[in-house]
Structure 1
Amino acid sequence: MISPGFTGAAIDRADHLRLKPERIAELEARPQARLLRLADLDPVLDEAGRLGWDSLDRRPEGAELIFLGLDKARPLFAPLRRLAAGQRAWSVFRLLAIMSAEDAALWGTARALVEWHNRHRFCANCGSPSELFRAGWGRSCSACAVEHFPRVDPVVIMLAEHSGRVLLGRQPQYPAGRYSALAGFMEPGESIEEAVARELKEEAGISVTNARYVASQPWPFPGSLMIGCFAEALEDHLTLDQDELEDAMWVDRAGVRGALAGEVAAPFLAPPPFAIAHTLLATWLAS
């Protein structure tokens, strides 16, 4: 199976060092320590199209450091700065199209952490300002001593199958012609299989059985875990939730094959390769 996007960062996260400030300080002092170059939340690439890195003395004014891990003996950090709420530069998707899988995974980790810190500057328990700890992998409240850790929101994303076809939908904000797998956040008190069935019923009006896990991927916008699944539809008549979907359609293998190949006459524009919907389509086609 094709490896999903935002996976494969070949570094040692070195969790055992995160609660040892003296060791982190020693890593920061190493001449080979490197700071990820960011434009707000987006990656800055070098001339070779790889992630750009600076020495730590190039740290932006007022920025704290997040310890990403060790690339062999090279400590890697990301700068944590205060950012305006709700920033999203869609141009990053053009950069992701040319980035290596390893670089995309490492940047995705940094992006998710930086945005989480910006969204969680105050303690959810008492409302007091919280402070970075665990080398950037948590926040602590000095007022009530509660510790907070980066959250990951689980999302099911699935292809429903019926008579040799899969169900794809589009939302209004998608680029023209793009269709993708249906998806939705899991809710408290339900399993992955139950979430798959609920979302397909709510969004497309179909009942499914035999929901099964295929693969997962982190999605750093801002911090989800996409849980890719297949399911078997019991019928193919669609009743769309117009608040969620602009359109949906069943696509056969020839249509999926053409879309993944980028054919002009394909019935839809495929999701980009770094999206797990692309992985699901390629896996379904190969099966």
Structure 2
Amino acid sequence: MEIVDITAQDGLLGPLLLARSAVDRSAALRGDAAWLEKAWADPATRVVVVDDGNALARRSGEEFSLVFSAPADAPAGERYLLGVDAGGVAYFAVSAPLPEPALGASHGRIVSPVAASAVPDGQVVAAGLRQVGSLLGDLDAGLLVYAVALEAWHSTHEFCPRCGSRTEVRSGGHVRVCPRDGGQHFPRVDPAVIMLVHDEQDRCLLARGPQWPEGRMSVLAGFVEPGESLEHAVAREVAEEVGVSVTGARYLGSQPWPFPRSLMMGFFARATSTELVLDQEEIVEARWFGRAELLAALESGEVRLPSGLSIARRLIETWYGEPLSGDW
């Protein structure tokens, strides 16, 4: 299977950093027990350990790279096949506690986004996608997104929802089977729409949720409901959260957001009304910004935008026309 480059979505300014990938997911091999056993016995196979969304990463210059081990050196835990690269190397994730030596180092665990220069070159740290996702290469970013998403799903689906029996991992970590009733349970994602709303004056609408401190603003977003199209979800969410009517929803790109299992689908939508009526449980502040006004608010520190890891940042910068500063 050819690996498709999807890092530059049509119409978006800049890449979607969690949509990168450089391996064939090799779905046809997941049910081949003999191949899985052979791949696990191969010392060339690479294994990344993932623990509650974190993995070990090493700073190398201005980037980070995942720390892999051979299968023989990997800890015991559930195994998930992540795929095979163009050179035939197989990649697995193992859900297990991270090795202790790295956690005892001075930069043992990173809990907020970091610049490469903040960590000594060669230092190994425990970190998640929010902390180092933008600093990983295409191969490692794709592998970690995949591993984190699978680990999150498995951690909440250990038992059969029908009979309560403990389920068993099959198909390289892509199915859980109930030994009592034979039911198969597959990893799921939660589809969500995220939209930059602009009006006839080409102002964009940014908002702040009640869980965010003052100044932290982003575009609107929400989950798609059962039986609902993406376009209807865009219009419904905007109307519910800020009381604005929109039309002309235009799809721009998507990326996984495995916190724990969302798939974010990005849109532009044109407002046909501009009066703001906020749902205070969801939105405590919303404002229309022209480009000059947004730039001034960012430069003064009055407003801070989502990180470059998010599709929200890409939507805002695409509307603005060039990269912006002022991360959360």
Give the TM-score normalised by structure 2.
0.79
Aligned CA-pair RMSD:
2.1
Q: CA deviation at 1:230?
A: 1.0
Show CA shifts across 1:230-273 (max 9, x none): 111111111111111121111112345567xxx53265212111
* Counterpart among 4, 29, 33 of residue 17 in structure 1: 29
What is the letter of the counterpart of residue 42 of structure 2?
R
1: CA distance, partners of 2:265 / 2:288:
21
Q: 1:57 to 1:209 in 2, by over 3 A?
A: same
2:165 is matched with which residue?
128
2: CA distance, partners of 1:151 / 1:106:
18
Tell whether the 8 Å contact from 1:160 to 1:166 is kept in structure 2 after alignment. Answer: yes
What is the letter of the counterpart of residue 205 of structure 2?
L
1:142 is matched with which residue?
179
1: CA distance, partners of 2:293 / 2:38:
55
Q: Does 1:78 align with 2:93?
A: yes
Q: CA deviation at 1:220?
A: 0.6
SS of match in other structure, 2:239: helix
What is the letter of the counterpart of residue 57 of structure 2?
L
* Counterpart among 242, 250, 272 of residue 307 in structure 2: 272
1:86 is matched with which residue?
none
2: CA distance, partners of 1:77 / 1:256:
44
Tell whether the 8 Å contact from 1:70 to 1:76 is kept in structure 2 after alignment. Answer: yes
What is the letter of the counterpart of residue 132 of structure 1?
V
- Gaps (5+ residues) in structure 2? 1-11, 99-109, 113-127, 323-328
Q: 1:82 to 1:266 in 2, by over 3 A?
A: closer
* Counterpart among 43, 67, 79 of residue 65 in structure 1: 79
Q: CA deviation at 1:275?
A: 0.3
Q: CA deviation at 1:134?
A: 0.9
2: CA distance, partners of 1:176 / 1:43:
32
Alignment size in residue pairs:
278
What is the letter of the counterpart of residue 198 of structure 1?
R
Tell whether the 8 Å contact from 1:257 to 1:285 is kept in structure 2 after alignment. Answer: no
Q: CA deviation at 1:176?
A: 4.9
Q: 1:39 to 1:139 in 2, by over 3 A?
A: closer
2:240 is matched with which residue?
202
1: CA distance, partners of 2:248 / 2:94:
45
Identity fraction in percent: 40
1:179 is matched with which residue?
217
What is the letter of the counterpart of residue 279 of structure 1?
R
Tell whether the 8 Å contact from 2:80 to 2:92 is kept in structure 1 after alignment. Answer: yes
1:155 is matched with which residue?
192
2:226 is matched with which residue?
188
* Counterpart among 144, 149, 154 of residue 112 in structure 1: 149
Show CA shifts across 1:68-104 (max 9, x none): 0112222111112499xxxxx8534232343334422
What is the letter of the counterpart of residue 318 of structure 2?
T
What is the letter of the counterpart of residue 37 of structure 1?
V
Q: 1:4 to 1:197 in 2, by over 3 A?
A: same
Q: Does 1:52 align with 2:90?
A: no
Give the TM-score normalised by structure 1.
0.90
Q: Does 1:5 align with 2:17?
A: yes
Show CA shifts across 1:130-158 (max 9, x none): 11111001111111111111001100110
SS of match in other structure, 1:107: helix
Q: Which moved more, 1:18-27 or 1:4-13?
A: 4-13
- Gaps (5+ residues) in structure 1? 84-88
1: CA distance, partners of 2:17 / 2:90:
24
Q: 1:20 to 1:283 in 2, by over 3 A?
A: same
Q: 1:29 to 1:258 in 2, by over 3 A?
A: farther
Tell whether the 8 Å contact from 2:52 to 2:151 is kept in structure 1 after alignment. Answer: no
What is the letter of the counterpart of residue 50 of structure 1?
S
SS of match in other structure, 2:225: coil
1: CA distance, partners of 2:35 / 2:79:
14
Tell whether the 8 Å contact from 1:169 to 1:181 is kept in structure 2 after alignment. Answer: yes
* Counterpart among 164, 177, 184 of residue 202 in structure 2: 164
